[in-house]
Structure 1
């Protein structure tokens, strides 16, 4: 969530204690440089003009024809967009106040799950089927996700895979509620094709959260507490509790707000976690297991304008055609000159080269 210009002053006075562990709020620029990369494409702007509206992207990779892959993005004032890699709008569903989005994608369809903020007292998940044929969205209904205002959403990909033909029979969702609650919700598809949800367990962080992502390798859940840092929950453990992963400040490479999170499962087993450092319009890249900060980057002006004040991000490995051969990184742009907010597209290989990291 983008905050007003008063935030740096407020940050000095707000040092929240989170889950029994203290982490500070960064209010000054970091010394660690952010290497510049440039976007190779951008989406059409969302329809809500002069508003903080575009928020979170998700990527469906078309394994049969990667250049025909799709991006799903939220306009949190209006609904859900589907874009091609050329940035053109392929579909739009005026589904209302959808904040964050994630998907579990198969060969010809994907289950799309978005956090629905239409009722600020009772959170919901809005479910859709994304069809490869025609890039169409089909509404599958809503599922309650417990008390509070819906904010973030991410799906557990461990054990789900991407080799199913239709929609997954079962998938675990993590609903990030604005008050800091995280709920694990098991979504199951019945014989009639309808999904139901069961809240399995929950955790509580001290202050506002939004971005989250899971590891397809370990099942670990990473959650961004906006003013504080990143927490990891090892969900494979029955007694899992949040543990500090990275703090806002110099050591963590993060300037509040901590916003979108994305995950790269690399072939060599050394995975990456990427976080949006909204306060200085940059991104921090971590070793996903050990937590070491491996570098920072930002998306600078080029043929396509640069990116500032990013909310949601997404990352998918593998080739995406000749323009994005090294993988696809998508970032929300909070200030798109000459138009409403949109999403910028970056070749992930360019990021790795800028940071001096090997392509995997």
Structure 2
């Protein structure tokens, strides 16, 4: 475990006979519909770390900016629909690279780019930016659009990786800089939806008809040129990342229900057990596998199904410990920074009147 993270978390882990619970330092305001908190990212102010900014997506509510006390310093609205029948903007995930924040606009199938400073964000997206996955407006409205997102610098190139809602696809994009910013898709990778189990049987991930097992939580490890991607009903993938394409993916941990027979129930619109679990899944993640973030040599993952977080030793994906964050439920996303700031921010997916974010300073 990283030295900074260990100084705070290891004593708590060792003292706790069961899954320890960490109390947030502060929490943000609660956001109610149509705003719906989803994913955070941290911008570290290079001049004064205490004036850093936390960003959080609010889906149709836009993009929020918070100070380190959890106070909202601004909300940038999502775009209106271009026509009355079209889908509006819907901000799903966010990541920060330098002084730029990248946001997946699920509603419009575009990557939005924002300039970040201590006052908040300014939209610097090229107005002519094109959809990432959709060829027509009709396809945009079908909402198999950009979903999860991670940004990083690989071999001297600023890149963004985004996943596709209700599909197994992920795309690699390059950043085009100017007075405004645009991204261009240079490569795609399709993860499996059907797997061969240890007993030789074939297992296809259950889902609503026409929808595949999507990826949302992602993080880029710039030290090793690696993408970690959480396929929600499958597990965590480790994927070599080059400036222009992807390497061969490897599934490095599985959700507990991996390989379990399930059947889609159209009445409940949910997948339900259709036989005993054969035990081919992992021991640590309760589907959905969600938000991923890296602290030095530790990968943190959200086990959304039972509201825990799991810390892995990144080199061999050995689980180190799990923990909970007090009153944080069904977390979609997380971000952590170490150094002068030492801050973990997580999405809080279930409050009495809505959703929000929780900060842990250490």
**2:41 alignment partner, one of 49, 58, 64:** 58
What secondary structure does 2:75 align onto? Answer: strand
- The within-5 A match list for 1:160-239 is 171-178=158-165, 179-190=167-178, 193-205=179-191, 206=193, 207-236=213-242
Q: CA RMSD in A?
A: 2.1
Query: How many pairs are equivalent?
Result: 279
Query: Per chain length, whose mean CA-contact separation is higher, i.e. which structure has more relative contact order (CA < 8 Å, sep 6+)?
Result: 1
Offset of 1:33 from its aligned partner?
4.2
Q: Where in structure 2 are there 5+ consecutive unaligned residues? A: 1-16, 79-88, 135-143, 194-212, 257-280
Distance 2:246 2:94 in 1: 27
Q: Are the aligned partners of 1:84 and 1:90 in contact in 2 as well (CA < 8 Å)?
A: yes
| Bigger-Rg structure (1/2) | 2
Distance 1:282 1:218 in 2: 27
| 1:4 aligned partner | none
Distance 1:143 1:104, change over 3 A: farther
Distance 1:316 1:332 in 2: 15
Is 1:97 aligned to 2:90, yes or no? yes
| 1:118 aligned partner | 107
Tell me the TM-score normalised to structure 1 length.
0.73
Distance 1:298 1:253 in 2: 13
Distance 1:336 1:214 in 2: 30
What secondary structure does 1:297 align onto? Answer: strand
Instruction: Give a deviation string over 1:166-190, Cα, whole Å, max 9, x none.
Output: xxxx510001112110100011213
Q: Are the aligned partners of 2:114 and 2:121 in contact in 1 as well (CA < 8 Å)?
A: no
Distance 1:70 1:277, change over 3 A: same
Q: Are the aligned partners of 1:48 and 1:75 in contact in 2 as well (CA < 8 Å)?
A: no
Please list every run of at least 4 consecutive aligned residues from structure 1 whose deviation after the TM superposition is greater than 4 angstroms: none
Distance 1:317 1:70, change over 3 A: same
What secondary structure does 1:276 align onto? Answer: strand
Distance 1:143 1:101 in 2: 18
Distance 1:86 1:245 in 2: 36
